Amino acid sequence: MSAVAGSLEDVPNLTPGPDERPKVLEFFAGIGLARLGLEAAGFEVSWANDYEPAKFEMYKKQFENADKHNYVVGDIHSVSVDQLPKNATVAWASSPCTDLSLAGSRGGLQSGESMAFWHFVKLLAELEEDRPRIAVLENVVGLASSHGGDDLTAAIKAFNSLGYSVDVLTIDARRFVPQSRPRLFVVASLETPLSADEKPNELRPAFLQSFFADPSLRTHRAALPAPPPIMTTGLSDTVEQMGDDDSRWWDGERVNKFETSLSTIQLDRVNKLKSAGEFTYRTAYRRTRNGVATWEVRPDDISGCLRTARGGSSKQAVVRLGLGDIKVRWMTPLEYARLMGAGDFDLSAARTNQALFAFGDAVAVPVVRWLSENYLRPLAGRPTTSDHSREVVHDG
């Protein structure tokens, strides 16, 4: 297949039969949360890769066929095109965000772990006529602003060079679970969707419009249904219930230090909730302000964004308030799983920090499912076109 942008004449008809589940290559698979969402939408993950053995141990425990399932443990740079199945419809990549996140180095796609994206593109290029019809890059929203937008532009051009037209949208997991977790999705397709949605909306806000307007990029905007509204409550229904004598609750001295570190505004918020006639729950982060460790409690019944648990500042505490009392503890692996839409995930063999790290470094299951059901599956089910209808539509 030609790698020239817009040349699609040699794309084989890979439309799955009515009883066949479209196959997916799952790059940067972690513990398989993208797989859970994709397979709930009717796809089948036929190959996966991640470099962390601890994540594979959790993956293997969750998926009964993991031993037979082709999961390559190792750096993506060690993966060769010969290892990839040749009948995949989708290539999914939740690539490292370390150098793109506002909490990271902001070195961009040419820096550190985030450079792994380029080997993903290299493998797609080497697949040639076996290239999946759809490729998805999932990452933090910071990718759109990294290096003034140059990194996302470079990613779109990389997909364009392989014959893909590209859509860009953002979805917050808070539309499905009580966790604030906005993420960016770059959907690359060898065929442009028939319907278009050209106005800015909640999926493609104003800060993404410059990419669609750039005449050097081949883009499209598929018409999609409105996603569920942003959740404003739900954390209290998600927390793991435990007795007052559970050892995971902090002792009185530690709770006192927690309260002492709060600002006046924060303490007033906590005291009002503490005096209420029923229990409510909040999450809290530890911050460093002017060199002093302080705690900040969220004002709403929503979790902050789960992160990889590398230290105290990245871990969230759960605060129970009401009936004149306050209790504090670290968030549990089960709560992490529930807030990622994977409450049934098998945690029986996972160490606490192992689970917190793995879930904090993943994509929320219901977001993947919604995108797959409303975008990827209809696109995968379209017969490949022929003759003049193969012409790529340029947006911008």
Q: Is the pLDDT of residue 138 over 80?
A: yes
Enclosing domain of residue 152:
23-230+363-390
Mean pLDDT of the 97-113 span: 48
Looking at the structure, do residues 184 and 86 belong to the same domain, yes or no? yes
Looking at the structure, do residues 133 and 220 belong to the same domain, yes or no? yes
| In a domain? residue 346 | no
| In a domain? residue 382 | yes
Instruction: List the end-to-end C-alpha distance of the chain, in Å, as a whole number.
Output: 26
| In a domain? residue 285 | yes
The label of the residue with tokens 């929320």 reads: 364
Q: Is the pLDDT of residue 153 over 60?
A: yes
Q: List beta partners, residue 287.
A: 294
Q: In the listed set 331, 350, 375, which residue is the last one of a domain according to the structure?
A: 331
Name, in order, each residue with C-beta under 8 angstroms of 279's C-beta and a sequence gap of 6 or more.
236, 320, 321, 322, 323
Distance between CA atoms of residues 52 and 361, nearest Å: 12
| In a domain? residue 14 | no
pLDDT in tens, 162-199: 999 999 999 999 999 999 999 999 999 998 776 777 78
CB 35 within 8 A of CB 63: yes
Q: What is the dihedral of CA 146, 147, 152, 153, to 10 degrees?
A: 160
Q: Give the pLDDT of residue 383.
A: 59
- 86 is written with which tokens? 């040749």
Q: Model-level pTM? A: 0.88
pLDDT in tens, 208-234: 999 999 999 999 999 999 999 999 999
Q: How confident is the model at residue 283 (pLDDT cuts 50, 70, 90)?
A: very high
The percentage of residues in the chain with a pLDDT greater than 90, rounded to a whole number, is: 74
Looking at the structure, do residues 96 and 184 belong to the same domain, yes or no? yes
Q: Tell me, what DSSP letter sits at residue 392?
A: P
Looking at the structure, do residues 245 and 226 belong to the same domain, yes or no? no
Looking at the structure, do residues 122 and 245 belong to the same domain, yes or no? no
pLDDT in tens, 1-51: 323 222 222 333 344 454 589 999 999 999 999 999 999 999 999 999 999
| In a domain? residue 28 | yes
Looking at the structure, do residues 138 and 28 belong to the same domain, yes or no? yes
| Sign, Cα dihedral of 215, 220, 226, 228 | negative
Tally of domains in the chain: 2
The domain that contains 143 carries what CATH number?
Answer: 3.40.50.150
The label of the residue with tokens 């945690």 reads: 347
Neighbours of 232 (CB within 10 A): 10
**Segment among 51-60, 76-85, 290-299, 346-355 with least mean pLDDT:** 290-299
Of 122, 123, 104, 126, which Cα lies nearest the Cα of 113? Answer: 104
Mean pLDDT across the chain? 86
**Cα 267 to Cα 91, 275, 282, distances in angstroms:** 48, 12, 13
Listed in order, strand segments (DSSP E) in 141-211 are 165-172, 182-189
Looking at the structure, do residues 59 and 206 belong to the same domain, yes or no? yes
Q: In the listed set 286, 316, 331, which residue is the last one of a domain according to the structure?
A: 331
Distance between CA atoms of residues 136 and 95, nearest Å: 10
Looking at the structure, do residues 41 and 130 belong to the same domain, yes or no? yes
Q: Give the pLDDT of residue 84.
A: 95
Looking at the structure, do residues 34 and 131 belong to the same domain, yes or no? yes
| In a domain? residue 94 | yes
CB 3 within 8 A of CB 387: no
| In a domain? residue 348 | no
Looking at the structure, do residues 197 and 158 belong to the same domain, yes or no? yes
- 317 is written with which tokens? 């505490």
Looking at the structure, do residues 175 and 283 belong to the same domain, yes or no? no
CB 206 within 8 A of CB 212: no
CB 29 within 8 A of CB 48: yes
The percentage of residues in the chain with a pLDDT greater than 70, rounded to a whole number, is: 84
pLDDT in tens, 36-93: 999 999 999 999 999 999 999 999 999 987 665 589 999 999 999 999 999 999 999 9
Q: Give the pLDDT of residue 313.
A: 54
